[in-house]
Structure 1
Amino acid sequence: MNQETTRAQALTPTHQFTILLSATRRGARLARLLTREQLHSWEHPSETAEQIVAELANNAVLHGHVPGRSFRLALTLSAANTLRIEVTDARADRSPPLHPRHPSPAAESGRGLLLVEALAARWGTDLGALPLSPCKTIWAEVDAPQLTL
């Protein structure tokens, strides 16, 4: 197999799940629970994905909230067993840093993206435009060997 064929297989989704959730703490919790149930139905480990979804959904609620707007959770499992997690919120103007900073030991928050960076094989931000409104998507990919802790 050549590299192009291998890359195409890696990107070919075998399973997809997408849902809009309220940009509330309850919506963030539901995102994690739905991730667990969806990956269970795909017979796929979920612990690492649940932690990543919890952090990204929480960030969408805390930093990406626009009154009256939801956030979107998308899970895509490829043929190559790579899980792509995407959380899209309504605040394109508030992107996370590419390299998260380590907070002071006394800080009570600020470690979420460090956790995502540690657990994911790759992660990043895509700016885009949903119909009639700006948005950003924070994504993370978890390869097969990393799907469990």
Structure 2
Amino acid sequence: MPTLDVEFKQQISSTRRGARLARLLAERQLQEWGVPYGCEFADAVVTVVAELAANAVLHGHVPGRDFELRMTWGDVLRIEVSDARGERRPVRQEYGPYVTEGGRGMVLVEELADDWGVTERNPGKTVWAEVNYSAVNDRAC
């Protein structure tokens, strides 16, 4: 486990390529914090970052505005993805044979994170998720 109270923050282009970059940056930052590639905790965090970044690009995009990825590690690892569209909130859809496209990423976030939510930001919103390193032993590395 890394030293507590560390932070990573990056502005990223609100494009599909930017969403992929967010995932790669999260993976690399976890390695710098001493979390090995491929352990279940790292996989969970990277998946949450990927889903939140994809949502920021697909649903929170405003031309000319980036999104922001912020990860802080205190008592838990907190992931924050901020975009410029405050009126577009994440929606969780249930699985089933007649489910429309979209909304499934938040199902993953809900399953992998210990908590998640949305806070206001000017302009836009921040979607956050928290993953506790030691809460689930099989996710610890």
TM bin (shorter chain): 0.7 to 0.9
Residue 84 of structure 1 aligns to which amino acid in structure 2?
Answer: R
Percent identity between the two aligned chains:
50
2:127 aligned to 126, 138, 141, which one? 138
Q: What does 1:1-149 correspond to in 2, within 5 Å? A: 14-44=5-35, 45-78=41-74, 80=75, 82-97=76-91, 100-105=92-97, 107-129=100-122, 134-145=123-134, 146=136, 148=139
Which SS does the other structure have where 2:5 is aligned? Answer: strand
Query: Of the two, which has the highest radius of gyration?
Result: 1
The structure with more strand, counted as a fraction of residues: 1
Q: Distance in 1 between matches of 2:48 and 2:108?
A: 8
**Is the CA contact (8 Å cut-off) linking 1:103 and 1:110 kept in structure 2?**
no
CA distance 1:92–1:108, change in 2 (3 Å)? closer
Q: Deviations over 1:26-72 (max 9, x none)?
A: 00000000000001000025211100000000000000000000000
For structure 1, the residue ranges without an aligned partner over 5 or more in a row are 1-12
Residue 21 of structure 2 aligns to which amino acid in structure 1?
Answer: L
Moved over 6 A (4+): none
Equivalences, count: 130
- The two structures have a TM-score, normalised by structure 1, of 0.80
Residue 92 of structure 1 aligns to which amino acid in structure 2?
Answer: G
Q: CA RMSD in A?
A: 2.0
For structure 2, the residue ranges without an aligned partner over 5 or more in a row are 36-40
- The two structures have a TM-score, normalised by structure 2, of 0.84
